[in-house]
Structure formats: C-alpha cells, structure tokens
Amino acid sequence: MHKLSRSNRDKLQQFISITGASEKAALQALKGSDWHLEGAFDVFYSQPQLKSFTDTRHLEELYNRYKDPYVDMVLVDGITLMCNDLQVDPQDIVMLVLSWHMKAATMCEFSKQEFIGGLQSLGIDSLDKFCERISFMRSELKDEQKFREIYNFAFGWAKEKGQKSLALDTAIGMWQLLFAERQWSLVDHWCQFLQAKHNKAISRDTWSQLLEFARTVDPTLSNYDAEGAWPYLIDEFVEYLHENGIIQNR
C-alpha cells in the first residue's frame, strides 16, 4: 500500500469503508477501473460471486422486519421504518435508486421478490451493509447511463396502477427531484409552464424526450432546432420561454 499515491490511498480507504471489501478486493476493483471510484463500485457490485456473500436467512429477517403484518409486501409503514433505520428521508432520491435496484413495479411498495432480489444484487444482508451502500447508490446518479436508466424507470414506478400517463403533480415532483441531481437550469420554468399551459397528465414520450432536451439543448436554446422531432409540448415550452422573455430571441 505504501507504493500508492496519496490520492489512490485515499480512494482505497474510501472504497473499503463503503463496501466493506478486503484490501485485495478493493485494489483489484480500483485497478480494474483505472482508479475511478464509481467504476470500481460497478466492478465490485457486478461480480456474480457477491451474491454468495449474502445470507438468505438474514435477508429474510430484514424482509420480515419491514413487511406489512397483513399483506406479504413491504408497504408505506415498512418503508418509513426502513428509512428511519437508514437515517434517510423517505423523499430522498436514494429511495428511487433503491427501488430501481429492486425493479419495483410501484412506488411505496416492494414485493418479497423485489425486496430480497434487490438487496441481494447490492450485496446487502444486514442493516449495517444497507447503511454502507447508501453512498454507493448516491454515486450511481453521477453515472450518465445509470441516471438515464433511473430516470426512465421513474416514470413507470411513479404512475398510478393501470394508467398509461403520469399525473402532472407527480411528474413535477419527480422532475424536481431528478433534475436537482442533474442541475438543469430550466426545470422550474418547465414546471411553471406545465401548470400554466398544460395541466394534463404526462405521456411516456414527453417524459423520455425531456431528458434528451435537457441533456442536449443548451439552456440558452442556442442549439435548439425548431425542425427537430421534439414532442409538441417541448416546442410550446420553447415558445413560452421566448414569449415571457425568459430566453431572449436571437
């Protein structure tokens, strides 16, 4: 370890403290990702042998701690208890990342299969490990590909069962949560525009296209192509920005 630079020694200690990995496993993951911490987490947690490190009996105990007394699922009360145990606000975006790992079908509920499968994939079989993985799950939001997957997952997760579209209030809440991470400067104007001009549920196409718009179009709209294949709602938003003097016409 003395041969490592100070920066790499710090990364090694951080990796070990978050994952609980041995020094050898930590070095292997960090070297395999060219000393990029987020890449090293991916390497470590994607190793299939990690699943053998989780104790099924302990996973069952965790599930039983949070499951509803009347239904074989984790529901709102169980999620609230889990958030208290993890010292995480139920509105924290990390709960969305956790739900993505669990492949949860619906907000505020986890089936037994979703709960155990998700924790197993994260190498979690105890509350201590659960707490340790929180910082890893937060780090995943900085990965562009994972952020896109989490963003697209959020649409189906947050919509009401049986509905094709996402209720406007829910969509606005999710956008504000997600774009707080991605820091899209027009998100508040977008939400105000929807409430003033649209006031209808949001389609999956609009949901997915907005991420592309936020990712590819400059906040000054200098590279916006009016002839592009954007949903009409995004074209109307651009007009709204110009009409209200939020963005100056060029």
Q: What are phi and psi of 183, to 5 degrees?
A: 55, 55
Rounded to two decimals, the pTM is: 0.79
Q: What is the mean pLDDT of residues 224-230?
A: 85
Residue 250 confidence class, pLDDT cut points 50, 70, 90:
low
Long-range CB contacts for residues 105-108, cutoff 8 Å, separation at least 24: 105/156, 105/157, 106/157, 106/161, 107/157, 107/158, 108/75, 108/76, 108/79
DSSP secondary structure, the chain, as one string: -TTS-HHHHHHHHHHHHHH---HHHHHHHHHHTTT-HHHHHHHHHT-GGGGGGS-HHHHHHHHHHHS-SSSSEE-HHHHHHHHHHHT--TTSTHHHHHHHHHT-SSTT-EEHHHHHHHHHHTT--SHHHHHHHHHHHHHHTTSHHHHHHHHHHHHHHHSPTT-SSB-HHHHHHHHHHHHHHHT-TTHHHHHHHIIIII-S-B-HHHHHHHHHHHHHS-TT-TT--TTS---HHHHHHHHHHHHTTSS---
Q: What is the pLDDT of residue 240?
A: 94
For 3-59, what is each residue's pLDDT tens digit? 788 888 888 888 887 777 778 878 888 888 888 888 888 777 766 554 445 678 889
For 93-139, what is each residue's pLDDT tens digit? 999 999 999 999 999 999 999 999 999 888 898 999 899 899 889 98
Q: What is the pLDDT of residue 123?
A: 86
Q: What is the pLDDT of residue 23?
A: 80
For 131-187, what is each residue's pLDDT tens digit? 989 988 998 898 889 999 999 999 999 999 889 999 999 999 999 999 988 889 999
Q: What is the pLDDT of residue 93?
A: 96
Nearest partner of 158 among 144, 147, 149, 168, judged by Cα: 168
